[in-house]
Amino acid sequence: MRFTSERHLDDGLLEREFRLGEVPGILWTPDCASAPAPLILLGHPGGLHQMYPRLVARARYGAVEGFAAATIELPGSGDRPRLADAEQARADLRRALKAGEPVDDDIVDRLVLPLVERAVPEWRAALDALLALPGIGGPVGYSGGVISIGVRLAVVEPRIRAALLFAGSVVPRAMFEQARQVTIPLQVLLQWDDEGNDRQVALDLFDAFGSAEKTLHANMGGHTGVPQFEGDDGNRFFARHLR
Amino acid sequence: MRFTSERHLDDGLLEREFRLGEVPGILWTPDCASAPAPLILLGHPGGLHQMYPRLVARARYGAVEGFAAATIELPGSGDRPRLADAEQARADLRRALKAGEPVDDDIVDRLVLPLVERAVPEWRAALDALLALPGIGGPVGYSGGVISIGVRLAVVEPRIRAALLFAGSVVPRAMFEQARQVTIPLQVLLQWDDEGNDRQVALDLFDAFGSAEKTLHANMGGHTGVPQFEGDDGNRFFARHLR
Protein backbone atom coordinates (compact mmCIF):
# COMPACT_ATOMS: atom_id res chain seq x y z
CA MET A 1 0.00 0.00 0.00
CA ARG A 2 1.45 3.28 -1.14
CA PHE A 3 0.05 6.69 -0.14
CA THR A 4 -0.02 9.12 -3.06
CA SER A 5 -1.53 12.21 -1.45
CA GLU A 6 -2.51 13.53 1.96
CA ARG A 7 -4.63 16.48 3.03
CA HIS A 8 -6.49 17.68 6.09
CA LEU A 9 -10.16 18.46 5.48
CA ASP A 10 -11.56 21.39 7.40
CA ASP A 11 -13.60 19.27 9.79
CA GLY A 12 -10.81 17.34 11.41
CA LEU A 13 -10.55 14.53 8.89
CA LEU A 14 -7.29 13.34 7.31
CA GLU A 15 -7.81 12.20 3.71
CA ARG A 16 -5.16 10.03 2.08
CA GLU A 17 -5.25 8.62 -1.43
CA PHE A 18 -3.41 5.36 -1.90
CA ARG A 19 -2.65 2.61 -4.38
CA LEU A 20 -2.71 -1.04 -3.54
CA GLY A 21 -0.88 -2.49 -6.52
CA GLU A 22 -2.83 -0.98 -9.41
CA VAL A 23 -5.98 -0.36 -7.37
CA PRO A 24 -6.55 3.26 -6.27
CA GLY A 25 -8.28 3.98 -2.99
CA ILE A 26 -8.97 6.65 -0.37
CA LEU A 27 -8.67 6.48 3.41
CA TRP A 28 -10.28 8.96 5.80
CA THR A 29 -9.27 9.01 9.46
CA PRO A 30 -10.47 11.33 12.23
CA ASP A 31 -7.57 13.59 13.27
CA CYS A 32 -8.28 13.34 16.94
CA ALA A 33 -8.99 9.63 17.41
CA SER A 34 -7.65 8.67 20.84
CA ALA A 35 -7.81 4.91 20.30
CA PRO A 36 -7.52 2.71 17.19
CA ALA A 37 -10.64 3.48 15.17
CA PRO A 38 -13.18 0.97 13.90
CA LEU A 39 -13.17 0.96 10.10
CA ILE A 40 -16.06 1.28 7.66
CA LEU A 41 -15.48 0.08 4.11
CA LEU A 42 -17.44 2.38 1.79
CA GLY A 43 -18.89 0.49 -1.15
CA HIS A 44 -20.03 2.32 -4.31
CA PRO A 45 -21.15 1.50 -7.84
CA GLY A 46 -17.74 2.23 -9.43
CA GLY A 47 -16.00 5.47 -10.38
CA LEU A 48 -14.23 6.94 -7.33
CA HIS A 49 -13.85 10.37 -8.91
CA GLN A 50 -17.52 10.69 -9.80
CA MET A 51 -18.62 9.23 -6.45
CA TYR A 52 -16.21 11.35 -4.38
CA PRO A 53 -18.73 13.92 -3.04
CA ARG A 54 -21.02 11.21 -1.70
CA LEU A 55 -18.15 9.10 -0.39
CA VAL A 56 -16.54 11.96 1.55
CA ALA A 57 -19.96 12.89 2.97
CA ARG A 58 -20.36 9.32 4.25
CA ALA A 59 -16.82 9.37 5.67
CA ARG A 60 -17.64 12.64 7.50
CA TYR A 61 -20.78 11.07 8.99
CA GLY A 62 -18.79 8.12 10.28
CA ALA A 63 -16.02 10.34 11.67
CA VAL A 64 -18.56 11.92 14.04
CA GLU A 65 -18.73 8.48 15.70
CA GLY A 66 -14.93 8.12 15.57
CA PHE A 67 -14.95 5.69 12.64
CA ALA A 68 -12.27 5.61 9.95
CA ALA A 69 -13.53 4.99 6.41
CA ALA A 70 -11.89 3.62 3.29
CA THR A 71 -12.81 2.75 -0.26
CA ILE A 72 -11.15 1.33 -3.36
CA GLU A 73 -11.95 1.59 -7.06
CA LEU A 74 -13.94 -1.29 -8.57
CA PRO A 75 -12.50 -3.47 -11.34
CA GLY A 76 -13.36 -1.96 -14.74
CA SER A 77 -14.27 1.48 -13.33
CA GLY A 78 -12.55 4.86 -13.00
CA ASP A 79 -9.03 4.79 -14.45
CA ARG A 80 -8.83 0.99 -14.27
CA PRO A 81 -8.90 -1.08 -17.50
CA ARG A 82 -12.38 -1.84 -18.75
CA LEU A 83 -13.67 -5.42 -18.48
CA ALA A 84 -14.81 -6.33 -21.99
CA ASP A 85 -17.35 -8.97 -20.91
CA ALA A 86 -18.94 -6.71 -18.30
CA GLU A 87 -19.12 -3.81 -20.78
CA GLN A 88 -20.95 -6.07 -23.23
CA ALA A 89 -23.34 -7.21 -20.49
CA ARG A 90 -23.95 -3.60 -19.44
CA ALA A 91 -24.79 -2.67 -23.05
CA ASP A 92 -27.16 -5.66 -23.23
CA LEU A 93 -28.80 -4.58 -19.95
CA ARG A 94 -29.29 -1.01 -21.19
CA ARG A 95 -30.75 -2.27 -24.46
CA ALA A 96 -33.22 -4.54 -22.62
CA LEU A 97 -34.28 -1.77 -20.20
CA LYS A 98 -34.71 0.72 -23.06
CA ALA A 99 -36.81 -1.75 -25.03
CA GLY A 100 -38.91 -2.45 -21.91
CA GLU A 101 -37.94 -6.12 -22.12
CA PRO A 102 -37.50 -8.30 -19.04
CA VAL A 103 -33.83 -8.50 -18.06
CA ASP A 104 -32.48 -11.95 -18.76
CA ASP A 105 -30.79 -13.78 -15.85
CA ASP A 106 -27.86 -14.40 -18.18
CA ILE A 107 -27.24 -10.67 -18.63
CA VAL A 108 -27.28 -10.10 -14.86
CA ASP A 109 -24.91 -13.00 -14.29
CA ARG A 110 -22.49 -11.74 -16.96
CA LEU A 111 -22.61 -8.23 -15.53
CA VAL A 112 -22.31 -8.94 -11.81
CA LEU A 113 -20.65 -12.31 -11.16
CA PRO A 114 -17.22 -11.52 -12.73
CA LEU A 115 -17.26 -8.16 -10.90
CA VAL A 116 -17.87 -9.89 -7.56
CA GLU A 117 -15.18 -12.50 -8.31
CA ARG A 118 -12.60 -9.79 -8.99
CA ALA A 119 -13.63 -7.17 -6.45
CA VAL A 120 -13.99 -9.29 -3.31
CA PRO A 121 -10.32 -10.40 -3.12
CA GLU A 122 -9.28 -6.76 -3.70
CA TRP A 123 -11.41 -5.51 -0.79
CA ARG A 124 -9.97 -8.26 1.41
CA ALA A 125 -6.42 -7.31 0.40
CA ALA A 126 -7.26 -3.67 1.17
CA LEU A 127 -8.50 -4.79 4.57
CA ASP A 128 -5.18 -6.56 5.26
CA ALA A 129 -3.28 -3.37 4.42
CA LEU A 130 -5.62 -0.95 6.21
CA LEU A 131 -5.78 -2.92 9.46
CA ALA A 132 -1.97 -2.97 9.54
CA LEU A 133 -1.88 0.85 9.72
CA PRO A 134 -1.43 2.56 13.09
CA GLY A 135 -4.66 4.13 14.32
CA ILE A 136 -6.98 1.66 12.61
CA GLY A 137 -8.06 -1.12 14.87
CA GLY A 138 -11.22 -2.68 13.57
CA PRO A 139 -13.80 -4.13 13.96
CA VAL A 140 -14.93 -3.54 10.41
CA GLY A 141 -18.26 -2.59 8.88
CA TYR A 142 -19.20 -2.64 5.20
CA SER A 143 -21.52 0.02 3.84
CA GLY A 144 -23.35 0.37 0.56
CA GLY A 145 -22.34 -0.09 -3.03
CA VAL A 146 -23.03 -3.05 -5.31
CA ILE A 147 -25.13 -5.27 -3.03
CA SER A 148 -23.75 -8.51 -4.49
CA ILE A 149 -20.21 -7.48 -3.46
CA GLY A 150 -21.49 -6.67 0.04
CA VAL A 151 -23.28 -10.00 0.30
CA ARG A 152 -20.24 -12.00 -0.82
CA LEU A 153 -17.94 -10.05 1.53
CA ALA A 154 -20.34 -10.63 4.41
CA VAL A 155 -20.17 -14.38 3.75
CA VAL A 156 -16.42 -14.83 3.25
CA GLU A 157 -14.77 -12.10 5.34
CA PRO A 158 -15.03 -12.76 9.09
CA ARG A 159 -13.48 -9.39 9.98
CA ILE A 160 -16.66 -7.67 8.72
CA ARG A 161 -19.01 -7.61 11.71
CA ALA A 162 -21.98 -5.65 10.36
CA ALA A 163 -23.14 -4.43 6.96
CA LEU A 164 -25.34 -1.58 5.78
CA LEU A 165 -26.53 -2.52 2.30
CA PHE A 166 -28.39 -0.64 -0.42
CA ALA A 167 -31.12 -2.84 -1.84
CA GLY A 168 -30.78 -3.55 -5.54
CA SER A 169 -32.54 -5.86 -7.90
CA VAL A 170 -29.81 -6.41 -10.50
CA VAL A 171 -28.80 -9.42 -8.46
CA PRO A 172 -27.79 -12.83 -9.85
CA ARG A 173 -29.97 -15.71 -8.66
CA ALA A 174 -26.83 -17.24 -7.12
CA MET A 175 -26.73 -14.30 -4.69
CA PHE A 176 -29.99 -15.40 -3.06
CA GLU A 177 -28.23 -18.60 -2.02
CA GLN A 178 -25.29 -16.53 -0.74
CA ALA A 179 -27.71 -14.26 1.16
CA ARG A 180 -28.99 -17.25 3.14
CA GLN A 181 -25.42 -17.79 4.40
CA VAL A 182 -25.08 -14.25 5.77
CA THR A 183 -25.31 -14.21 9.56
CA ILE A 184 -23.91 -10.78 10.57
CA PRO A 185 -26.28 -7.95 11.58
CA LEU A 186 -27.64 -6.12 8.55
CA GLN A 187 -29.36 -2.83 7.90
CA VAL A 188 -30.78 -2.66 4.36
CA LEU A 189 -31.81 0.61 2.73
CA LEU A 190 -34.54 0.42 0.11
CA GLN A 191 -35.69 3.37 -1.99
CA TRP A 192 -39.38 2.52 -2.39
CA ASP A 193 -39.77 4.10 -5.84
CA ASP A 194 -36.28 3.39 -7.15
CA GLU A 195 -36.50 3.78 -10.91
CA GLY A 196 -33.64 1.35 -11.50
CA ASN A 197 -34.69 -1.44 -9.13
CA ASP A 198 -37.54 -3.89 -8.82
CA ARG A 199 -39.07 -3.47 -5.36
CA GLN A 200 -40.26 -7.06 -5.04
CA VAL A 201 -36.85 -8.50 -5.91
CA ALA A 202 -35.29 -6.22 -3.28
CA LEU A 203 -37.84 -7.40 -0.67
CA ASP A 204 -37.21 -11.04 -1.63
CA LEU A 205 -33.46 -10.55 -1.16
CA PHE A 206 -34.05 -8.97 2.26
CA ASP A 207 -36.22 -11.95 3.13
CA ALA A 208 -33.46 -14.37 2.07
CA PHE A 209 -30.73 -13.07 4.40
CA GLY A 210 -29.93 -15.56 7.14
CA SER A 211 -29.08 -12.92 9.77
CA ALA A 212 -31.00 -13.03 13.05
CA GLU A 213 -30.75 -9.22 13.21
CA LYS A 214 -31.72 -7.61 9.95
CA THR A 215 -33.61 -4.36 9.56
CA LEU A 216 -35.09 -2.89 6.40
CA HIS A 217 -35.37 0.91 6.13
CA ALA A 218 -37.58 1.83 3.19
CA ASN A 219 -37.92 5.49 2.24
CA MET A 220 -39.64 7.48 -0.44
CA GLY A 221 -37.87 8.98 -3.41
CA GLY A 222 -35.75 7.67 -6.27
CA HIS A 223 -32.42 5.92 -6.40
CA THR A 224 -30.35 8.83 -5.07
CA GLY A 225 -33.02 10.20 -2.72
CA VAL A 226 -31.95 8.49 0.52
CA PRO A 227 -32.97 10.93 3.30
CA GLN A 228 -30.21 12.56 5.29
CA PHE A 229 -31.46 11.07 8.58
CA GLU A 230 -30.45 7.63 7.28
CA GLY A 231 -26.85 8.82 7.73
CA ASP A 232 -27.49 9.12 11.46
CA ASP A 233 -29.34 5.81 11.50
CA GLY A 234 -26.40 4.15 9.76
CA ASN A 235 -24.00 5.58 12.34
CA ARG A 236 -26.10 4.22 15.18
CA PHE A 237 -26.31 0.82 13.51
CA PHE A 238 -22.51 0.66 13.25
CA ALA A 239 -22.06 2.10 16.74
CA ARG A 240 -24.22 -0.75 18.10
CA HIS A 241 -22.11 -3.39 16.39
CA LEU A 242 -18.57 -2.02 16.09
CA ARG A 243 -18.09 -0.73 19.64
CA MET B 1 -60.94 15.46 32.94
CA ARG B 2 -60.59 14.21 36.49
CA PHE B 3 -57.32 12.91 37.97
CA THR B 4 -57.85 9.79 40.09
CA SER B 5 -54.31 8.98 41.18
CA GLU B 6 -50.83 10.46 41.08
CA ARG B 7 -47.42 8.97 41.75
CA HIS B 8 -43.79 9.75 40.99
CA LEU B 9 -41.93 6.96 39.24
CA ASP B 10 -38.31 6.51 40.24
CA ASP B 11 -36.89 7.92 37.02
CA GLY B 12 -38.32 11.41 37.22
CA LEU B 13 -41.68 10.74 35.64
CA LEU B 14 -45.01 11.84 37.09
CA GLU B 15 -47.76 9.29 36.38
CA ARG B 16 -51.38 10.39 36.72
CA GLU B 17 -54.45 8.27 36.07
CA PHE B 18 -57.50 10.15 34.93
CA ARG B 19 -61.07 9.77 33.72
CA LEU B 20 -62.51 11.71 30.86
CA GLY B 21 -66.21 11.07 31.37
CA GLU B 22 -66.29 7.28 31.55
CA VAL B 23 -63.03 6.79 29.69
CA PRO B 24 -60.00 5.95 31.85
CA GLY B 25 -56.57 7.14 30.83
CA ILE B 26 -52.99 7.68 32.02
CA LEU B 27 -50.73 10.72 31.62
CA TRP B 28 -46.96 10.67 32.08
CA THR B 29 -45.02 13.93 32.31
CA PRO B 30 -41.29 14.45 32.88
CA ASP B 31 -40.80 15.99 36.34
CA CYS B 32 -38.14 18.40 35.21
CA ALA B 33 -39.58 19.74 31.96
CA SER B 34 -38.51 23.38 31.69
CA ALA B 35 -40.89 24.30 28.84
CA PRO B 36 -44.32 23.00 27.81
CA ALA B 37 -43.66 19.46 26.59
CA PRO B 38 -44.62 18.01 23.22
CA LEU B 39 -47.15 15.21 23.70
CA ILE B 40 -47.12 11.67 22.34
CA LEU B 41 -50.42 9.81 22.29
CA LEU B 42 -49.71 6.14 22.99
CA GLY B 43 -51.97 3.86 21.02
CA HIS B 44 -52.44 0.20 22.02
CA PRO B 45 -54.70 -2.75 21.11
CA GLY B 46 -57.04 -2.29 24.11
CA GLY B 47 -56.72 -3.22 27.80
CA LEU B 48 -54.78 -0.51 29.66
CA HIS B 49 -54.09 -2.73 32.65
CA GLN B 50 -52.66 -5.57 30.59
CA MET B 51 -50.72 -3.17 28.34
CA TYR B 52 -49.37 -1.08 31.24
CA PRO B 53 -45.78 -2.46 31.32
CA ARG B 54 -45.26 -1.74 27.62
CA LEU B 55 -47.02 1.63 27.79
CA VAL B 56 -44.95 2.90 30.71
CA ALA B 57 -41.79 1.68 28.97
CA ARG B 58 -42.73 3.74 25.89
CA ALA B 59 -43.54 6.74 28.09
CA ARG B 60 -40.09 6.43 29.71
CA TYR B 61 -38.42 6.36 26.30
CA GLY B 62 -40.21 9.53 25.28
CA ALA B 63 -39.43 11.28 28.56
CA VAL B 64 -35.72 11.03 27.75
CA GLU B 65 -36.45 13.45 24.90
CA GLY B 66 -38.65 15.60 27.15
CA PHE B 67 -41.92 14.34 25.72
CA ALA B 68 -45.09 13.88 27.76
CA ALA B 69 -47.15 10.79 26.93
CA ALA B 70 -50.80 9.89 27.39
CA THR B 71 -53.16 7.08 26.59
CA ILE B 72 -56.85 6.24 27.02
CA GLU B 73 -58.73 2.95 27.16
CA LEU B 74 -60.33 1.79 23.91
CA PRO B 75 -64.11 1.37 23.58
CA GLY B 76 -65.09 -2.19 24.57
CA SER B 77 -61.78 -2.94 26.33
CA GLY B 78 -60.52 -3.01 29.94
CA ASP B 79 -63.27 -2.09 32.40
CA ARG B 80 -65.39 -0.42 29.70
CA PRO B 81 -68.66 -2.06 28.53
CA ARG B 82 -68.17 -4.68 25.82
CA LEU B 83 -69.32 -3.85 22.27
CA ALA B 84 -71.59 -6.76 21.31
CA ASP B 85 -71.08 -6.41 17.54
CA ALA B 86 -67.30 -6.19 17.82
CA GLU B 87 -67.22 -9.20 20.18
CA GLN B 88 -69.19 -11.21 17.62
CA ALA B 89 -66.83 -10.09 14.84
CA ARG B 90 -63.80 -11.00 16.98
CA ALA B 91 -65.25 -14.48 17.58
CA ASP B 92 -65.85 -14.85 13.83
CA LEU B 93 -62.27 -13.74 13.12
CA ARG B 94 -60.84 -16.27 15.60
CA ARG B 95 -62.98 -19.03 14.12
CA ALA B 96 -61.80 -18.20 10.58
CA LEU B 97 -58.13 -18.05 11.62
CA LYS B 98 -58.40 -21.31 13.56
CA ALA B 99 -60.04 -23.03 10.59
CA GLY B 100 -57.33 -21.65 8.30
CA GLU B 101 -60.00 -19.91 6.24
CA PRO B 102 -59.41 -16.56 4.52
CA VAL B 103 -60.69 -13.69 6.67
CA ASP B 104 -63.77 -12.19 5.08
CA ASP B 105 -63.69 -8.40 4.46
CA ASP B 106 -67.04 -8.25 6.23
CA ILE B 107 -65.57 -9.63 9.47
CA VAL B 108 -62.74 -7.08 9.38
CA ASP B 109 -65.18 -4.24 8.72
CA ARG B 110 -67.46 -5.31 11.60
CA LEU B 111 -64.48 -5.65 13.94
CA VAL B 112 -62.58 -2.45 13.14
CA LEU B 113 -64.86 0.22 11.65
CA PRO B 114 -67.16 0.70 14.71
CA LEU B 115 -64.06 0.76 16.94
CA VAL B 116 -62.53 3.54 14.82
CA GLU B 117 -65.82 5.46 14.76
CA ARG B 118 -66.06 5.41 18.56
CA ALA B 119 -62.40 5.71 19.48
CA VAL B 120 -61.32 8.63 17.28
CA PRO B 121 -63.64 11.25 18.86
CA GLU B 122 -62.51 10.05 22.31
CA TRP B 123 -58.82 10.52 21.46
CA ARG B 124 -59.64 14.00 20.09
CA ALA B 125 -61.55 14.90 23.27
CA ALA B 126 -58.59 13.63 25.30
CA LEU B 127 -56.34 15.87 23.22
CA ASP B 128 -58.53 18.90 24.02
CA ALA B 129 -58.27 18.15 27.75
CA LEU B 130 -54.57 17.26 27.75
CA LEU B 131 -53.44 20.31 25.78
CA ALA B 132 -55.32 22.53 28.25
CA LEU B 133 -53.11 21.29 31.11
CA PRO B 134 -50.17 23.41 32.25
CA GLY B 135 -46.84 21.93 31.12
CA ILE B 136 -48.20 20.27 27.99
CA GLY B 137 -47.72 22.37 24.91
CA GLY B 138 -47.89 20.19 21.85
CA PRO B 139 -47.15 19.61 19.04
CA VAL B 140 -48.58 16.13 19.17
CA GLY B 141 -47.40 12.78 17.87
CA TYR B 142 -49.37 9.54 17.70
CA SER B 143 -47.63 6.26 18.32
CA GLY B 144 -48.68 2.66 17.75
CA GLY B 145 -51.81 0.73 18.57
CA VAL B 146 -54.62 -0.22 16.21
CA ILE B 147 -53.30 1.10 12.89
CA SER B 148 -56.78 2.01 11.58
CA ILE B 149 -57.29 4.37 14.54
CA GLY B 150 -53.89 5.93 13.85
CA VAL B 151 -54.68 6.36 10.17
CA ARG B 152 -58.04 7.97 10.83
CA LEU B 153 -56.59 10.29 13.50
CA ALA B 154 -53.80 11.29 11.11
CA VAL B 155 -56.43 12.29 8.53
CA VAL B 156 -58.88 14.18 10.74
CA GLU B 157 -56.79 15.66 13.56
CA PRO B 158 -54.54 18.52 12.43
CA ARG B 159 -52.85 18.80 15.83
CA ILE B 160 -51.14 15.45 15.17
CA ARG B 161 -47.94 16.32 13.30
CA ALA B 162 -46.26 12.94 12.98
CA ALA B 163 -47.24 9.31 13.54
CA LEU B 164 -45.32 6.15 14.33
CA LEU B 165 -47.54 3.25 13.30
CA PHE B 166 -47.36 -0.51 13.83
CA ALA B 167 -48.15 -2.28 10.58
CA GLY B 168 -51.16 -4.56 10.74
CA SER B 169 -53.14 -6.45 8.17
CA VAL B 170 -56.53 -6.63 9.91
CA VAL B 171 -57.38 -3.43 8.08
CA PRO B 172 -60.71 -2.62 6.40
CA ARG B 173 -60.45 -1.90 2.67
CA ALA B 174 -61.85 1.57 3.41
CA MET B 175 -58.66 2.32 5.34
CA PHE B 176 -56.56 2.11 2.17
CA GLU B 177 -58.54 5.06 0.82
CA GLN B 178 -58.02 6.89 4.14
CA ALA B 179 -54.29 6.09 3.99
CA ARG B 180 -54.00 7.95 0.67
CA GLN B 181 -55.25 11.09 2.46
CA VAL B 182 -52.54 10.97 5.13
CA THR B 183 -49.89 13.63 4.53
CA ILE B 184 -48.04 13.91 7.85
CA PRO B 185 -44.59 12.28 8.26
CA LEU B 186 -44.88 8.60 9.12
CA GLN B 187 -42.61 5.91 10.49
CA VAL B 188 -44.15 2.45 10.13
CA LEU B 189 -42.87 -0.56 12.09
CA LEU B 190 -43.34 -3.96 10.48
CA GLN B 191 -42.48 -7.25 12.18
CA TRP B 192 -41.38 -9.28 9.17
CA ASP B 193 -42.57 -12.66 10.52
CA ASP B 194 -45.59 -11.42 12.47
CA GLU B 195 -47.73 -14.47 13.09
CA GLY B 196 -50.92 -12.39 13.25
CA ASN B 197 -50.39 -10.19 10.20
CA ASP B 198 -50.12 -10.65 6.46
CA ARG B 199 -46.83 -9.10 5.32
CA GLN B 200 -48.04 -8.22 1.83
CA VAL B 201 -51.13 -6.40 3.12
CA ALA B 202 -48.90 -4.42 5.50
CA LEU B 203 -46.56 -3.48 2.61
CA ASP B 204 -49.55 -2.49 0.46
CA LEU B 205 -50.84 -0.23 3.23
CA PHE B 206 -47.41 1.39 3.58
CA ASP B 207 -47.41 1.94 -0.18
CA ALA B 208 -50.85 3.58 -0.01
CA PHE B 209 -49.95 6.34 2.45
CA GLY B 210 -49.94 9.77 0.79
CA SER B 211 -47.16 11.21 2.97
CA ALA B 212 -44.10 12.60 1.20
CA GLU B 213 -41.99 11.45 4.17
CA LYS B 214 -42.75 7.90 5.14
CA THR B 215 -40.24 5.34 6.34
CA LEU B 216 -40.76 1.63 6.86
CA HIS B 217 -38.67 -0.14 9.51
CA ALA B 218 -38.99 -3.90 9.11
CA ASN B 219 -37.40 -6.16 11.72
CA MET B 220 -37.20 -9.85 12.41
CA GLY B 221 -39.19 -11.61 15.09
CA GLY B 222 -42.85 -12.04 15.88
CA HIS B 223 -45.59 -9.62 16.80
CA THR B 224 -44.13 -8.55 20.15
CA GLY B 225 -40.47 -8.84 19.12
CA VAL B 226 -39.84 -5.20 18.12
CA PRO B 227 -36.13 -4.62 18.90
CA GLN B 228 -35.27 -2.21 21.67
CA PHE B 229 -33.32 0.08 19.33
CA GLU B 230 -36.60 0.97 17.61
CA GLY B 231 -37.46 2.87 20.81
CA ASP B 232 -34.49 5.17 20.13
CA ASP B 233 -35.39 5.39 16.45
CA GLY B 234 -38.95 6.38 17.38
CA ASN B 235 -37.65 9.09 19.69
CA ARG B 236 -35.48 10.53 16.94
CA PHE B 237 -38.39 10.43 14.50
CA PHE B 238 -40.54 12.42 16.92
CA ALA B 239 -37.66 14.72 17.84
CA ARG B 240 -37.28 15.60 14.12
CA HIS B 241 -40.93 16.48 13.79
CA LEU B 242 -42.16 17.72 17.17
CA ARG B 243 -39.31 20.13 18.00
For residue range B135-147, list pLDDT tens digits in order.
998 899 999 889 9
Question: Looking at CA atoms only, how far is residue B184 from chain A in angstroms?
Answer: 13
Number of A to B CB contacts under 8 A, please give it: 44
Architecture of domain B2-81+120-242: 3-Layer(aba) Sandwich (3.40)
Binned at pLDDT 50, 70 and 90, residue A41 comes out as very high
Q: Is the pLDDT of residue A165 over 90?
A: yes
Q: To probe the interface with A, which of B188, B207, B216 has the most A CB atoms within 10 Å?
A: B216
Q: Is the pLDDT of residue B112 over 90?
A: yes
CA separation, residue B4 to residues A6, B20, B37 (Å): 67, 11, 22
Q: Which residues of A touch B227 (CB under 8 A)?
A: 213, 215
Question: Which residue ranges make up each domain of chain A?
Answer: 2-87+118-242
- pLDDT value at position B58? 94
Q: Which residues of B touch A217 (CB under 8 A)?
A: 215-217
CB contact under 8 A, B229 and A236: yes
% of chain A exceeding 90 in pLDDT: 84
CB contact under 8 A, B217 and A220: no
pLDDT tens for residues A57-79? 999 999 999 999 999 999 999 99
For domain A2-87+118-242, the question of CATH label 3.40.50.1820 is answered with: yes
CB contact under 8 A, B218 and A206: yes
pTM: 0.91
Binned at pLDDT 50, 70 and 90, residue A223 comes out as confident
Q: Which residues of B touch A232 (CB under 8 A)?
A: 236
Q: Which residues of B touch A214 (CB under 8 A)?
A: 219-220
- pLDDT value at position B157? 97
Distance (Å, whole) CA B10 – CA B27: 16
- pLDDT value at position B160? 98
Question: Looking at CA atoms only, how far is residue B4 from chain A in angstroms?
Answer: 41
- pLDDT value at position A31? 85
Pairing outcome for strands B23-30 and A214-219: unpaired
Provide Rg for chain A, Cα atoms.
17
Q: Which residues of B touch A (CB under 8 A)?
A: 192, 203, 206-207, 211-220, 227, 229, 232-233, 236, 240
Question: Looking at CA atoms only, how far is residue B132 from chain A in angstroms?
Answer: 33
Q: To probe the interface with B, which of A192, A211, A240, A243 has the most B CB atoms within 10 Å?
A: A192
- pLDDT value at position B224? 83
Distance (Å, whole) CA B127 – CA A100: 52
Tally DSSP H helices, then E strands, for chain B: 7, 9
- pLDDT value at position B166? 94
CB contact under 8 A, B218 and A215: yes
Please, which residues have CB within 8 angstroms of residue A50's CB and are 6 or more apart in sequence? Answer: none
| Helices B84-98 and B105-131, packing angle to 10 deg | 130
In this structure, which long-range contacts are made by residues A179-184, counting pairs with CB atoms below 8 Å and at least 24 apart in sequence? Answer: A179/A151, A179/A205, A179/A208, A179/A209, A179/A210, A180/A208, A180/A209, A180/A210, A181/A155, A181/A210, A182/A151, A182/A154, A182/A155, A182/A209, A182/A210, A182/A211, A183/A210, A183/A211, A183/A212, A184/A154, A184/A160, A184/A211
Distance (Å, whole) CA A85 – CA A146: 18
Chain B residue whose CA is closest to A240: B229
B124 SS3 class? helix
